[in-house]
Amino acid sequence: GWAMDWLVKSPLEGNARFVLGPLLERRDLDKAAEAAVGRAMDWLTKFPLEKNAPFVLGPLLGRRYLDPSAGERAITLAFNWLLGFLDTEAADLILKHLLARPWLPTDRIGDLKRRAIAQLRDRVTDTKDQNTSFLLKPWLNCRVRHQDLDREIVGLAIKWLRTHTGHEAVDFVFN
């Protein structure tokens, strides 16, 4: 349709994310899906550490089928982006899709968990920190297991819950 035509004809600019994200979320693209994925990869290559990359990278990782090389590349882009933005609310947009993917490298997930734990230790009791809930939730739902790290994340979640009893995000974090 018109969105793909625009993406193909237009130079890749930062605001292309407004077309790419919704396009990648569609499941009815058939042959255009490959082109949309390719254009998203081009955009992410040009803007790999863009603050708004989750609006393209999240839907890309959320696609059920990505060919193996595109899947690996998307996972690498996600890990690289998360290194700089793990403590932001936008990280949840990537983590929820990344952590749902099969065959993730357990060592890299472990590294991200360690980083998240280091950031959460000082933040879970801060009642003014609104982003803590977005950092806790994906790690509580992570299927890649690291027994000691997971135990620490659960402990931090309990500290957060004790500090934020009655907070509107309680259901979000624990459901």
Compare 76 and 27 and report the one with higher pLDDT. Answer: 76
What is the reported pTM?
Answer: 0.85
Q: Is the pLDDT of residue 158 over 80?
A: yes
Judged against a pLDDT cut of 70, whether residue 11 lies above it is answered with: no
Tokens standing for 142? 């992570």
Torsion region of 17: left, alpha or beta (phi above 0 gives left; psi -120 to 50 gives alpha): alpha
Residue 95 CA to residue 54 CA, distance in Å, equals 9
Helices (H), the chain: 2-9, 17-25, 32-46, 54-62, 68-85, 91-98, 106-121, 132-140, 147-163, 170-174
18 pLDDT band, cuts 50/70/90, is confident
> Which of 13-22, 116-125, 154-163 has the lowest average pLDDT?
13-22
Cβ atoms 152, 110 nearer than 8 A: no
Confidence band, pLDDT 50/70/90 cuts, at residue 88: confident
pLDDT in tens, 115-155: 999 999 999 999 888 788 888 999 999 989 999 999 999 99
Which of the listed ranges 2-6, 96-100, 164-168 does the model predict with the highest average pLDDT? 96-100
Please, are residues 152 and 117 in contact by the beta-carbon 8 Å criterion?
A: yes
pLDDT digits (tens, 9 = 90+) for 21-70: 888 888 887 777 888 888 899 999 999 999 999 999 999 999 888 888 99
Give the pLDDT of residue 84.
93
pLDDT in the model for residue 110: 96
